[in-house]
Amino acid sequence: MTAPLPAPPLADDAPHLLVVDDDNRIRSLLSRFLTEHGYRVTTAASAAEARGRLDGLSFDLLVLDVMMPGESGLDLARALRRTSGVPILMLTARSEAEDRIAGLEVGADDYLGKPFEPRELLLRVASILKRAQPAAQKAIEEVRFGEFLFHLGRGELLRNGDPVRITERERDMLRALAEAPGDTVPRLALAGNGTASERAVDVQVNRLRRKIERDPANPIYVQTVRGIGYRLVVTP
């Protein structure tokens, strides 16, 4: 009889799951099964042990059994929700509607009754992790302010369609401002790898203003945020 093939090595960014169940057999099965499908798994046999794991490690999702001696999974989930938004999948042998509702009311993200098909567990884990991911923001390609258009990728500044000559430092500063339109960008972020002083940044911003502001002394687009830095006011 041939030995089973070892599981493939986990990716460095593999999601880390904490499986909490007082049944040693279920913990072992879930740990092996989830590891074989690309997840990094840590286990705990009780709520107290889970708290110890949570104190020292960061997890992407908890697979949490409801019915445990001592502090139940529901109690642990309720306590965690006071300070943490970590996704939680509840497991229980009870499948009555009121028990499912109780799990969701304390802040669980999903609920799976025992016994369950391993493939269903995988699908639910993947679904929860996908929902927990922050929505990807589309990269800003260009910003418009008044009669100007700045293309971030090309570093090109246009005024009513005609190119405006700017220096490399002005281009870098304008790109940093345009990457966060409307937000305050600290002077340090505009300092060119930290090599320019705050005073030098102020001088360079004033030079840029002379190219894009009608009245550089009363700027409309590159505004000063006193004591912090600058922000770029864009138009739709």
Q: What is the pLDDT of residue 139?
A: 76
Query: Distance between CA 182 and CA 177 in Å, rounded?
Result: 8
Pairing verdict, β 229-232 and 222-225: antiparallel
Residues 122 and 158 in one domain: no
Residues 71 and 42 in one domain: yes
Residue 6 within a domain:
no
Residues 71 and 109 in one domain: yes
Residues 128 and 46 in one domain: yes
Q: How many CB atoms lie within 10 A of CB 100?
A: 19
Residues 21 and 106 in one domain: yes
> What is the per-residue DSSP string for 1-15?
-PPPPPPPPPPTTPP
Q: What is the pLDDT of residue 151?
A: 95
Structural domains of the chain, count: 2
Residues 126 and 183 in one domain: no
Q: Average per-residue pLDDT in the chain? A: 87
pLDDT exceeds cutoff 70 at 154 = yes
Among candidate residues 109, 132, 155, the one where a domain is terminated: 132
Residue 167 within a domain:
yes
Q: What is the pLDDT of residue 160?
A: 95
pLDDT band at 164 (very low <50, low <70, confident <90, very high): very high
Residues 123 and 169 in one domain: no
Residue 200 within a domain:
yes
Residues 78 and 149 in one domain: no
**Token pair listed for 120:** 């269903």
Burial status of residue 205 (CB atoms within 10 A of its CB: 0-12, 13-18, 19 or more)? buried
- Which amino acid appears at position 82 of this protein? R
Strands in the chain per DSSP E: 16-20, 40-44, 61-65, 88-92, 110-113, 142-145, 148-151, 156-159, 162-163, 185-186, 222-225, 229-232
Residues 193 and 128 in one domain: no
Domain limits for position 73: 16-132
Instruction: Average the pLDDT over each of 74-83, 100-109, 131-140, 215-224 and give the range with the smallest value.
Output: 131-140
Residue 1 within a domain:
no
CATH number at residue 115: 3.40.50.2300
Residues 117 and 169 in one domain: no
Residue 99 within a domain:
yes
Among candidate residues 84, 103, 132, the one where a domain is terminated: 132
Residues 206 and 124 in one domain: no
Q: What is the pLDDT of residue 6?
A: 54
CATH number at residue 218: 1.10.10.10
